[in-house]
Structure 1
Amino acid sequence: MLDRKKNGKFLYTCAVRPAAIYGPGEERHLPRIVFLAKLGLLPFKIGDPSVKTDWIYVDNLVLALILASMGLLDDIPGKGRHPIAAGQPYFVSDGSPINTFEFVRPLLRSLGYDLPKTSLAVQHALLLGRIFWAIYTMLYPWLNKWWLPQPLILPAEVYKVGITHYFSFLKAKEELGYIPMVTPREGMAATISYWQEKKKKSMDGPTIYAWLFCVIGMTTLFCAAYLPDIGPVPLLRGFSLFIFRSMWIMRMVFLLSVAAHIGEAAYAWHLAKRVDPANSRGWFWQTFALGFFSLRFLLKRARKLA
């Protein structure tokens, strides 16, 4: 594409179409995958294991952009007046199509997260994605609120990981001289090092199921033990009495649980001051809410540093 400026010169452009980008500092694909894996919200893989997609390491993308910009120059001796890249599209990638879940497996394993073993058919994943799409469409006015989590999956993501789609970078190679300078193995190794270092600077924590268990459990126990019979409290109290048999035992269990959480939180704060001082306050509050579910991650970090 070109456009004549007022001074008689031309502005040449081209389209560089990268595959899914990965590497240190990438903020679109891998952060979301790692975040979901940390919370235990990767319950299944999508599609057949033979499905393949393209990825491109960030340094390879930068190389492609530099070569494309050079291909737009019209003042290179011996190249003629019309740049070879003007108005052209170029697909670029690492040149090694791979199943998305197999691609992220080494990264998740290095961080101590599990990759799901079960698979969900594309049509079923699409149904789930459309349900989330409909829900979040209704929640549109609040999409930018901090308290609203991202949808678990959307139809576009299902197509991205569940349908084979990749392209050849032969045109970019022949016209621009593009050849990936970083192999997928080298790129993933650098990405793993980046994420491992990032994990050291942040707090570890249990899956969302531990959060739900502790928060809902303690809230239910408090309501059943101390609140008057309003709303759902009688139902909660009846369920709690079925387990604990008496109000006295129920209240003692709640008080002992609170005391244990406070003690564990204080110990977590003291330990974090030594092994992770930047996050000591966060460790205190997380352990106060979750008890040993949180403390065990801090103890594991302390053992590694010992």
Structure 2
Amino acid sequence: MHLSANEGIEGVRFAVTGGQGFVGAALCLELLRRGAREVRSLDLRASSSWSQQLLDAGVRTIQGDIRNKDDVGRAFRGVDCVFHLASYGMSGKEMVQTGRSDEVNINGTCNVLDACHEQGVRRLVYVSTYNVVFGGKPIVNGNEALPYFPIEDHVDAYGRSKSVAEQLVLKSNGRPAKSDKSTRLYTCAIRPAAIYGPGEERHLPRILSLAKLGLAFFKIGGPDVKTDWLYIDNLVLALILASMGLLDDIPDRKGTPVAAGQAYFICDGSPCNTFEFIIKPLFQSLGYSVPQVRLDTSVALAISRMFLFISTLFYPWLDSKWMPEPLILPAEVYKVGVTHYFSFLKAREELGYVPMVRPHEGLAATISYWQERKRRELDGPTIFTWLAVTIGMLAVFSAACLPPVGPLKWVLDIHLFVFRSMLVIRLVLVIAIALHFGEAVYAWFLAKKVDPRNATGWFWQTFALGFFSLRYLLKRARG
């Protein structure tokens, strides 16, 4: 396909579902940069970390739910092309919420298709997933000829519901508009690899939060396991090329648009081991411990099923903020522990897709982003240090101040064995509190110079942990 860089974009109205997210926001901004007449973002969220950028660029942000037909119809009125990115259940606790995944990914997509039909939308690009064909069995250099993975065999609701939705989208290709039978809706699906880049919200934040807590213990799968990754700029390029591939008014092009009714795998084109390419250099650059112990995929699956069972028990409370994310779930084990990578040859030949950012460039930009983000945040020790110091301080306080009843008698006996008298125990408590308070005050004054936005946080963290917190601030001050 040989078209100008902005064919089908200049002077055109677009709608992007999920436009407040990482990919959606990047796509909205790029469409406007290329000369789109109007870009509308439909998102359940009223705001996100991208909101100000979208507002400044002139994106029309609409708060709405794709599960609500009226919201979708309102957003699509007068639009020529829709990018359907909104989804649910990709990672973490969301993966366990099967009902909502079906509501958003299947019912929501039906609403999108109906709104396109009613509003006379001409082009629909659907963002799908590798998981429509991958379900845990190795795939080497796969292509679009692969059959859909059996619906009943999916280990998560996300893969299953996205597969159903993609098939609905592709089967709707060529559907006439409600008010004008000569206007047809042309559809295609983009199947992206795992997405990364500065600001990515799904994969890396969860991995790095575990690393910060000291809970990233294991590598999963062998060193020869390879998977695909996709840098954000490359995905945005592929989405725009897909929209061009649905144009039906190109001179010298006869018949159905080249991308109509088609699906395309999109990746950076460099299969790699996730732990070696992404996790190891990222952890090292941020000063986190790199996992050394390697878990066999079968063992990791057994552990992930345990977390799935526990999460299922707490199903009614999964939306609660106090409910932690499961450490890992079965679909995530397959994602990093089983080889599966695909060719983007079809996208290159039919859409003209060639990755514009190389993997090492994308990784360098991602690392720089996380290094800067870490410099802006409160740093500190692992959860094990928190537990050790907190339990230790509570134990000394219990021995010094509380009546020795029940288990507290054992606590007192241990302290008397170590410190010999109640007087010494109480002196130890007073000295410990005084030291922590003094270190906290020093941390507050130092943070006012080197990290003023987090000065209060440094005070309280150092008051709780003492030098175990202060040493991180001193390191920041030195460097």
Q: Which TM-score applies when normalising by structure 1?
A: 0.96
Q: Is the 8 A contact 1:46 1:121 kept in 2?
A: yes
1:277 aligns with 2:452: yes
Residue number among 202, 215, 218 corresponding to 2:393 in the alignment: 218
1:35 aligns with 2:35: no
Aligned residue in 1 for 2:423 = 248
Structure ranking higher in strand proportion? 2
Deviation at 1:231, TM superposition (A): 4.2
> CA offsets, 1:48-91, max 9 Å, x none?
01001110000000000000011011111112241111111100
Aligned residue in 1 for 2:337 = 162
Aligned residue in 2 for 1:99 = 273
Q: Is the 8 A contact 1:215 1:289 kept in 2?
A: yes
Aligned residue in 2 for 1:201 = 376
Residue number among 395, 414, 422 corresponding to 1:239 in the alignment: 414
Within 5 Å, give how 1:80-119 maps onto structure 2. Answer: 80-104=254-278, 105-119=280-294
Q: Is the 8 A contact 1:75 1:81 kept in 2?
A: no
Q: Is the 8 A contact 1:132 1:153 kept in 2?
A: yes
CA distance in 2, matches of 1:141, 1:203: 32
CA distance in 1, matches of 2:311, 2:287: 31
Helix, strand or coil at the partner of 2:195: strand
> CA offsets, 1:214-267, max 9 Å, x none?
111111221222112344322322333333333222222121111111111110
- Specify the code of the residue in structure 2 equivalent to 1:146: K
Residue number among 168, 183, 191 corresponding to 1:17 in the alignment: 191
CA gap of 1:245–1:135, structure 2 versus 1, over 3 A, is: farther
Q: Is the 8 A contact 1:261 1:290 kept in 2?
A: yes
CA gap of 1:231–1:148, structure 2 versus 1, over 3 A, is: farther
| 164-173 or 132-141, larger mean C-alpha shift | 132-141
Q: Is the 8 A contact 1:45 1:116 kept in 2?
A: yes
1:147 aligns with 2:299: no
CA gap of 1:64–1:41, structure 2 versus 1, over 3 A, is: same
CA gap of 1:201–1:246, structure 2 versus 1, over 3 A, is: same
- Specify the code of the residue in structure 2 equivalent to 1:285: W
Aligned residue in 1 for 2:253 = 79
1:181 aligns with 2:353: no
Aligned residue in 1 for 2:367 = 192
CA distance in 2, matches of 1:153, 1:256: 42
CA distance in 1, matches of 2:297, 2:320: 30
Q: Is the 8 A contact 1:22 1:191 kept in 2?
A: yes
Aligned residue in 2 for 1:4 = 176
Deviation at 1:144, TM superposition (A): 2.3
| 18-27 or 216-225, larger mean C-alpha shift | 216-225
- Specify the code of the residue in structure 1 equivalent to 2:470: L
Helix, strand or coil at the partner of 1:166: strand
Q: Which TM-score applies when normalising by structure 2?
A: 0.62
Aligned residue in 2 for 1:134 = 309
Unaligned runs of 5+ in 2: 1-169
CA distance in 1, matches of 2:341, 2:290: 23
1:54 aligns with 2:228: yes
How many percent identity over aligned positions? 65
CA distance in 1, matches of 2:315, 2:403: 37
Q: Is the 8 A contact 1:60 1:181 kept in 2?
A: yes
- Specify the code of the residue in structure 2 equivalent to 1:4: P
Q: Is the 8 A contact 1:132 1:154 kept in 2?
A: yes
> CA offsets, 1:139-197, max 9 Å, x none?
22222222222111111211111111111111111111111010001101111111111
Structure ranking higher in helix proportion? 1
**Higher RCO (CA 8 Å, separation ≥ 6 residues):** 1
| 289-298 or 33-42, larger mean C-alpha shift | 33-42
Task: Give the CA RMSD over aligned residues.
Answer: 1.3
CA distance in 2, matches of 1:281, 1:231: 38
Helix, strand or coil at the partner of 1:119: strand
- Specify the code of the residue in structure 2 equivalent to 1:91: F
CA distance in 2, matches of 1:250, 1:101: 47
| 138-147 or 31-40, larger mean C-alpha shift | 138-147
Count of residues in Structure 1 that have an aligned counterpart in Structure 2: 304
Aligned residue in 2 for 1:65 = 239
| 110-119 or 225-234, larger mean C-alpha shift | 225-234
Deviation at 1:41, TM superposition (A): 0.8
Q: Is the 8 A contact 1:38 1:113 kept in 2?
A: yes
- Specify the code of the residue in structure 2 equivalent to 1:284: F
